[in-house]
Chain A
Amino acid sequence: MTEQKKLSIIAFSGDFDKLTAVFTLGTGAAAVGYEVNIFFTFWGLDAIKQKQGRSFTGGNWLTKLFGFMMGGLKVTPTSRFNFLGAGPKIFRYLMRKNNVATLEELVEAAKALGINLYACEMAMHVLGLKKEDFIPEVKDVLGVASFLNLSEGGQTLFI
């Protein structure tokens, strides 16, 4: 009896292109029966924020600044060729034209396939975010030790 295949992804980057990779890998694996865990940390937390668009969340002016800069999936920049926001728009257009799933579709698919989404406790504190700031599908808030535990026995990727 073969063991359940498992894939764990550390989603560190908040870039449009890298998040697309995270969710493409995650949904692709989940579709063929993998157990998939995604641990969002630092910039990656941007992908699981409940409130889309830029807003001044957080307690002090620094965290409010981050809340403004990290405005969720709609405004994530590409890691290169961002051109003040034109980059993601161009890529979204190309993806739609080639019938490739957009980032939003991939995130919806991830939820539909029951992929485990986790938020990093350390990054949350630094950026002034609370569990309520994230989408309800986020399963839990974890630290490194817990994540290493649940990723054991499978493959782990850092994106």
Chain B
Amino acid sequence: MTFVKTKIELSKLLPGDILEVLLAEGEPLDNVPRNAKEQGYNVLSVEHVEGTTHKVVIKK
């Protein structure tokens, strides 16, 4: 579901816009960067924020 929401937000952006996604480790952390890349988006960074939360920055 995390990637579903990410995809929906990404589709609303203009090219060049940036989206920050805060997500849980485990499946979302595996899925979101990989699927974003496969769909042609630019994954700028994946960093650990705190606890089990990570941040993925994606550029359209």
Q: Chain A: residues with CB nearer than 8 A to chain B?
A: 24, 27-28, 30-33, 99-101, 106, 109, 112-113
Contacts and interface: CB of A to CB of B under 8 A. Distances in A.
Given A31-B7, A109-B8, A100 B1 contact: yes
Contact of A109 (B4, B24, B35, B39): B4
Nearest to B9: A112
Given A28-B4, A32-B3, A32-B38, 7 more contacts: A27-B1, A28-B3, A31-B6, A99-B24, A109-B5, A112-B11, A113-B4
A32 B1 contact: no
Interface residues of B, number: 12
User: Would you list the 3 A-B pairs with minimal beta carbon distance, nearest first?
Assistant: A31-B7, A31-B4, A101-B1
A95 B3 CA distance: 17
Interface of B: 1, 3-8, 11, 24, 35, 38-39
Consensus secondary structure, chain B interface: helix
A24 B1 contact: yes
A33 B41 CA distance: 13
A27 B39 contact: no
A113 B1 contact: no
Contacts of B4: 27-28, 30-31, 101, 109, 113
B8 A32 contact: no
A31 B11 CA distance: 10
B24 to A, nearest CB: 8
Contacts of B11: 112
A31 B21 CA distance: 15
Contacts of B5: 101, 109
Contacts of A99: 24
A5 to B, nearest CB: 12
